Structure 1
Amino acid sequence: MTSAARPLLLSNVRLPDGSPVSVPVVNGRIEAPGPNVAPPPGAAIEDGGGALLLPGFVEGHTHLDKSHWGRAWYRNEVGPNLVDRIENERAWRKAAGHDAGAQSLALARAFLAAGTTRLRSHVDIDTDAGLHYLEGVLETRHALRDVLDMQIVAFPQSGMLIRPGTEDLLGSALAAGADVLGALDPALIDGDPVGSLNATFALAKRYGKPIDIHLHEPGDIGAFTLKLLLDRVEATGMQGQVVVSHAFCLGALPEPQALLERIARLDVALLTSAPPSRPVPPLKRCREMGITIFGGNDGIRDTWTPYGVPDMLERAMLIGLRYDLRRDDDLAIAFDCVSAAAARGCGFADYGLHAGARADLVLVDAETIAHAVVARPRRKLVVSNGHVVARDGALTDLA
């Protein structure tokens, strides 16, 4: 893999608004698109055949280190509770010698082939495995560094305060290259929402890192934890640096308006995988209030769930189904959740189809964005950071 991409011209493609354009790419960046653009000197020319041009997709929340992607079927016989799943996974990974490096690489490459060029992955940090899983995912990030922009979240899947030593391990993970500090259910897992949140925010401030917290806690318990979290965002000045993932409580409360107003004012982002079996934050209401809400797969083919594929167009479709999005303009919202909104929520810079943006481009044979979300056609071409990384769903030798 080389870090320098050859100049490129994508010709005969259509923008989402239907405009025919050619897109020049130099040094991994988009130059001014237009209908009659001359190829940059020395450029490779790719004829898009009138295909729809989309920006590279963004996976806002997954767990690359856990996946069994491409491996033998895992027989799931785990109990129904969150703690059952946590303990089962920890025991199985230890007994099976689960290779987080190999599995994260396999899943990351599958994401790339399907058009995902930027990705945020949570990686388990606990007192059984230490930084072992992180080390594997760091290897994957390094291997794909020229073609996949990956953020790593140091995530205490087994809890933090209830497992002494985890807090220090999280600090070591941030020092070793994790980009974001994770957290998990301060009330129901750690049993001390005040102490857990205090420790999380102190650690984030110490290392100068943003926070992405899993908040599965339901109803009034979740609302109580969320209020405490928002208090700490305001007190520590971390506006714009916190994501609340899942936030099931916002879909369960009879009237979440006061919480949503604070979330909007403090510029806290929300992540949803749009699960069919749990309450979800109100998508359109959040957007109307200026809250960044975006999408992700969560786990894919792991001990938690047999479901999921590394295709963000499919996740956009599932978001559309969960939120009853049927109109074409509503389906464009579903796509925004796995594109621009996800880039904004995760803090991926220079995103889009404009001049100066990083050249992350996907071609599909579809009439419109809505058509692409519903039909999920094979990716005709994927360009990441200016490199052609996939054709017709298959990776090139650059990935």
Structure 2
Amino acid sequence: MFSDEHTEIGTEAEKGSPMLLTAGLVDAHIHPDKSSWSDPWMSRRPAETLADLIGNNIKALSEYTHSVEERAFALLSHAHRNGTLAMRAHVDVGTEVGLANVEGVRAAAERIPTLDVQIVSFPQFGMLTNPGTVDLMAASLTAGADIVGGIDPIGLEHDLHGHLDAVFGMAQAASRDVDIHLHDGGEEGLAEIREIAARTVAAGMQGHVTIPHAFALCDSSLPSLRETLDAVADARIWIATCALGPDPVPDLALLESHGVQIAAGSDGVRDSWSPFGTGSMVDRAHLLGYRTGAITDADLERCWRIATASGARMLGIPDISSDVTATSPTRLEFDVPTIAQLVVDRPAPTRVVRHGHDIH
């Protein structure tokens, strides 16, 4: 078995039994307020750029049938039954939606006490470029949000230092973690990542900053890639990857060789951006393996570790541990012989247990 901090990621329930015990799944990056889960089918509009996708998102706001709370609750409940025990939810905050999405997702999460949900106050529609959003983000931290978010300081906001000043300033004032979407690629994207790393160290926030997507880290041809990976590792920044469709995926072995911490998430699940997504992190571990060319058992086991125990460390959830036994109060059970086969076959768990309670 692949080991994570000297603990196995899967064990047999009892000697001779085919039942496999594993750590709980963690969705380190999901957008439940955007999901159309429980709504009628949504026909998506074409989009070629990030701006197109954000525009489609705004148009969809008036087209949902159910409330944010009901759609989020339906998705969170489905994910929970399929083994997700904790998640980081990126929830839109801005003049277009106010604090309604944060309040709706928090209300949904409170209906599922055995699911840990961290909410990121996410300026999807711009922060500095969308006047009033900074004040709303600050207010969201007392309305249900836990973490200060950000998005493409250069690509969307066109002001690297102004955007990061606002994000880190807000986080330090409220003693909150930071989680910055970064789609920007190329050397410019790597420069943004190094600046985030430098600010993380200067603020003493090592281990408390996450960069989802980080597409620039996926391009092995960039001259400053390895320098940037070392900066990310030194700042103990987490990278959250989602293995989405045509999006770049990182070289997992390369990142880990530099000491970079990696977690996995679903990103959007059947929202205005894409019709795809199942809400199952079993499926996401499979996609991560598929997209990164996993072949050996060790490759597949790494994908499972990233989707379970690594995500739990990122979110700071100690009971979601890879050190599980048949009596562990938090565990998943699968009717499959090995982790490698689990990742390939994608079975649903036969049993989900959290804090000693069976999840149905």
State the TM-score bracket (shorter-chain normalisation).
Answer: over 0.9
1:68 maps to 36
Instruction: Give percent identity, aligned residues only.
Output: 35
8 Å contact kept, 1:362–1:379: yes
1:284 maps to 253
8 Å contact kept, 2:149–2:181: yes
The 3 A distance-change label for structure 1 pair 16 and 97 is: closer
1:153 aligns with 2:120: yes
1:378 aligns with 2:345: no
C-alpha distance in 1, partners of 2:51/2:33? Answer: 19
C-alpha distance in 1, partners of 2:13/2:47? Answer: 53
Question: Displacement of 1:269 after TM fit?
Answer: 0.8
C-alpha distance in 1, partners of 2:62/2:322? Answer: 44
The 3 A distance-change label for structure 1 pair 131 and 98 is: farther
The 3 A distance-change label for structure 1 pair 98 and 378 is: closer
Choose which of 121, 124, 131 in structure 1 pairs with 2:89. Answer: 121
C-alpha distance in 1, partners of 2:10/2:188? Answer: 44
Deviation by residue 1:168-190 (Cα, 9 ceiling, x = unmatched): 11111112221111110011111
8 Å contact kept, 2:11–2:21: no
1:176 aligns with 2:132: no
Question: Displacement of 1:50 after TM fit?
Answer: 4.2
C-alpha distance in 1, partners of 2:334/2:213? Answer: 30
Unaligned runs of 5+ in 1: 1-14, 22-34, 36-47, 390-394
C-alpha distance in 2, partners of 1:17/1:82? Answer: 39
8 Å contact kept, 1:292–1:344: no
The 3 A distance-change label for structure 1 pair 183 and 72 is: same
Letter of the 1:328 counterpart: D
Count of residue pairs brought into register by the alignment: 350
Question: Displacement of 1:19 after TM fit?
Answer: 4.9
The 3 A distance-change label for structure 1 pair 247 and 355 is: closer
TM-score, structure 2 as length reference: 0.92
1:297 maps to 266
Letter of the 1:366 counterpart: V
C-alpha distance in 2, partners of 1:53/1:136? Answer: 34
Choose which of 295, 298, 301 in structure 2 pairs with 1:326. Answer: 295
8 Å contact kept, 2:12–2:19: no
8 Å contact kept, 1:352–1:358: no
1:143 aligns with 2:111: yes
8 Å contact kept, 1:126–1:169: yes
Letter of the 1:374 counterpart: V
Letter of the 2:207 counterpart: G
8 Å contact kept, 1:211–1:243: yes
Write 1 or 2 for the structure with the bigger share of strand. 1
Letter of the 2:202 counterpart: A
- Describe how 1:358-397 pairs up with structure 2 within 5 A: 359-389=329-359, 395=360
8 Å contact kept, 1:52–1:368: yes
- Describe how 1:299-314 pairs up with structure 2 within 5 A: 299-314=268-283
1:24 maps to none
1:12 maps to none
Which stretch shows the higher mean deviation, 219-228 or 191-200?
219-228
C-alpha distance in 2, partners of 1:251/1:70? Answer: 34
The 3 A distance-change label for structure 1 pair 283 and 126 is: same
The 3 A distance-change label for structure 1 pair 153 and 246 is: same
1:245 aligns with 2:212: yes
C-alpha distance in 2, partners of 1:266/1:17? Answer: 30
1:392 maps to none
The 3 A distance-change label for structure 1 pair 307 and 271 is: same
C-alpha distance in 2, partners of 1:386/1:282? Answer: 37
8 Å contact kept, 2:190–2:216: yes
8 Å contact kept, 2:194–2:232: no
The 3 A distance-change label for structure 1 pair 125 and 88 is: same
Deviation by residue 1:335-356 (Cα, 9 ceiling, x = unmatched): 0111011111222223215489
Choose which of 167, 172, 175 in structure 2 pairs with 1:205. Answer: 172
TM-score, structure 1 as length reference: 0.83
Deviation by residue 1:171-222 (Cα, 9 ceiling, x = unmatched): 1111222111111001111111110011100000011100111000011221
The 3 A distance-change label for structure 1 pair 82 and 18 is: closer
C-alpha distance in 2, partners of 1:291/1:300? Answer: 26
Which stretch shows the higher mean deviation, 242-251 or 229-238?
229-238
C-alpha distance in 2, partners of 1:98/1:127? Answer: 21
1:130 maps to 98
Question: Displacement of 1:95 after TM fit?
Answer: 5.2
The 3 A distance-change label for structure 1 pair 103 and 17 is: closer
2:4 maps to none
Letter of the 1:264 counterpart: A
Question: Displacement of 1:143 after TM fit?
Answer: 0.8
C-alpha distance in 2, partners of 1:108/1:319? Answer: 21
The 3 A distance-change label for structure 1 pair 16 and 215 is: closer
The 3 A distance-change label for structure 1 pair 19 and 134 is: closer
1:77 maps to 45
Highest RCO, 1 vs 2 (Cα 8 Å, sep ≥ 6): 2
Unaligned runs of 5+ in 2: 1-7
Question: Displacement of 1:20 after TM fit?
Answer: 4.8
Deviation by residue 1:52-91 (Cα, 9 ceiling, x = unmatched): 1111111110001111113211111232111111122113
C-alpha distance in 1, partners of 2:192/2:198? Answer: 10
Structure with max Cα Rg = 1
C-alpha distance in 2, partners of 1:19/1:131? Answer: 45
C-alpha distance in 1, partners of 2:77/2:31? Answer: 14
